Chain A
């Protein structure tokens, strides 16, 4: 599958778009490498789940959304937040628990929000965001708008009731929602085939007579195009789609978990790294002369400076005042 889509010729008239997609993937990668560094130094606490290896899924799919559309994701959502337009500064500051963060330091890595961008959260109970995103789609249909709701979740979430209940309702009511399953093969340390009776997650859509598509989650263009088709259907009133993006997590489940061990071998991880969406795409761009090595180097240097600045911003920001403890519990 990977070989097939990655071999497709890119359209030179869309070079700006491709470079932008590439830049976003690289930003997410460099940001999370920096976050890992900060975590190791003790600047970031709690759980911190990295998306390294999966960048093509968030970046490719978010490229087709408009202002007004909403996004809900799991707790592994730094990539979605950055790609939707939150600055590296405010996301890093939130990871640091600082008052300049997206949630004033009250959310943390797993709970990034920006209502002005329609970014309605990272959610930390597996599968809980699936009914929530379905509800946002319900609101769009209720209001008669052409907004769409996009929902990201890991493959382990499809075995819980929230997934089934929500997809069933989305199908009954033909809601404008796009479910993007980020199939990275492992629910923490449990392989997909050990947890799910059906290996092909896209097949789950059959239970709801819902359209579905399997896409190479290591190919940013393939993800973008699949999402484009799903979004067009949703905006046009044809209802929901389940997209299964097959990807792979290069890091451990969270920063405190091993990259490999009892549940997967080092060889397996190395094998998957050959499909790394970032070098794969840069090679593709270079092969067609849509990006030069010099341009790549300049872009990377700029991004490195951006994430370094984000880290310094987070470090320099102040912790929330003690009065903040009791604010935002109830709305007026």
Chain B
């Protein structure tokens, strides 16, 4: 199996799906001539021409709406946001048009569209360019929300998202683009709505997604070697629909749980996961569930402050030690 980057895995998924279905096209800022702000769409313009790789003006609300309208008229658009920070300008179209059209029309008008682009805090980009917004989108019935953590999942989940008949918000890890991993060639589909056990363990479950999967795995190794705590690491992969069954199964087995995310604590993804756990695994819990999240502040610029604001392996280790009553 070839080892490629998360970036190239996404590029492969786009190319393969555009080859497979002539109704699939890509639109967004700098996706064509510039080859993508993060080079996810590299070489696609050459292969598919400007008919199917469409550079847009900087008008997120407008081109999100154009994509949704094209989906209503029978196409399968992929709308790239240069980053999900800018998708906030398109929220009306994503929430009020894409998510609700099927319902408002009594089932007549599906909106098969993917909104994709990088999200999550990066390095010293300051408050407006560094935030994890999964929870915002996951709140909305009618949307699916996907956040892959590995190159293989990035490819398989993007291909499934493009084939899905619903609006899918596909949030890539901005800091994961250079991450390398083995990725199956050709037809590799990862179904939406299925979490993945990235490390099997018996003593505590670490639930995470996207960029927090790698630090969670690192923390698990440290906990094993330094504290003899055997952690299971469960990667949600899809935030909505949430794989409640996998969450409950893992926590029922380990009886202890820490939830990690880059987003803010208040009304975050982890808040929903805790709710599922208290209902589905109440009798199995040996300790309160703890959460490791981004600090409840706008992201600071200073390197020193920024480090304090993000989830790190150390913070995850400390949280697991607490739920294991080691401390």
Bitwise, B237-262 to A at CB < 8 A (1) or not (0) is 00000000000000000000000000
Interface centre among B51, B57, B97 (most CB of A within 10 A): B97
What are 16 A-to-B residue pairs whose CB atoms are below 8 Å? A102-B106, A103-B104, A103-B105, A103-B106, A125-B96, A131-B65, A132-B68, A132-B69, A135-B66, A135-B70, A136-B70, A139-B69, A162-B61, A162-B92, A329-B103, A331-B165
Contact B165–A136 (Cβ < 8 Å): no
Given known A161-B62, A165-B62, contact A330–B142 (CB-CB < 8 A):
yes
Question: Does B101 make an interface contact (CB < 8 A)?
Answer: yes
Interface set, chain B 83-104, CB cutoff 8 A to A:
92-93, 96-97, 101-104
Given known A139-B75, A172-B57, A330-B102, contact A104–B65 (CB-CB < 8 A):
no
Interface centre among A133, A139, A172 (most CB of B within 10 A): A139
Interface set, chain B 174-200, CB cutoff 8 A to A:
none
Contact A168–B66 (Cβ < 8 Å): no
Stretch at the interface among B107-115, B205-213, B290-298: B107-115
Contact A142–B70 (Cβ < 8 Å): yes
Question: Does A299 make an interface contact (CB < 8 A)?
Answer: no
The CA of A130 and the CA of B101, in the complex, are separated in Å by: 15
Q: How far does the Cβ of B49 sit from chain A's closest Cβ, in whole Å?
A: 11
Chain B residues whose CB sits within 8 angstroms of the CB of A125 once the complex forms = 92, 96-97
Given known A131-B61, A168-B57, contact A114–B142 (CB-CB < 8 A):
no
Question: Does A51 make an interface contact (CB < 8 A)?
Answer: no
Partner of A113, one of B65, B75, B109, B165: B109
Partner of B108, one of A115, A140, A168, A169: A115
Question: Does B56 make an interface contact (CB < 8 A)?
Answer: yes
Question: Does A212 make an interface contact (CB < 8 A)?
Answer: no
Q: How far does the Cβ of B125 sit from chain A's closest Cβ, in whole Å?
A: 25
Question: Does B19 make an interface contact (CB < 8 A)?
Answer: no
Bitwise, A310-324 to B at CB < 8 A (1) or not (0) is 000000000000000
Contact A133–B107 (Cβ < 8 Å): no
- Interface size grouping (class) on chain A: 35 or more
Contact B110–A168 (Cβ < 8 Å): no
Given known A106-B104, A162-B65, A330-B142, contact A169–B56 (CB-CB < 8 A):
yes
The CA of A332 and the CA of B163, in the complex, are separated in Å by: 11
Bitwise, B97-138 to A at CB < 8 A (1) or not (0) is 100011111111110100000000000000000000000000
Partner of B59, one of A137, A138, A169: A169
Contact B74–A139 (Cβ < 8 Å): yes
Chain A residues whose CB sits within 8 angstroms of the CB of B59 once the complex forms = 161, 165, 168-169
Question: Does B63 make an interface contact (CB < 8 A)?
Answer: yes
Question: Does A4 make an interface contact (CB < 8 A)?
Answer: no
Question: Does B299 make an interface contact (CB < 8 A)?
Answer: no
Chain A residues whose CB sits within 8 angstroms of the CB of B71 once the complex forms = 135
Contact B73–A140 (Cβ < 8 Å): yes
The CA of A164 and the CA of B93, in the complex, are separated in Å by: 15
Contact A134–B65 (Cβ < 8 Å): yes
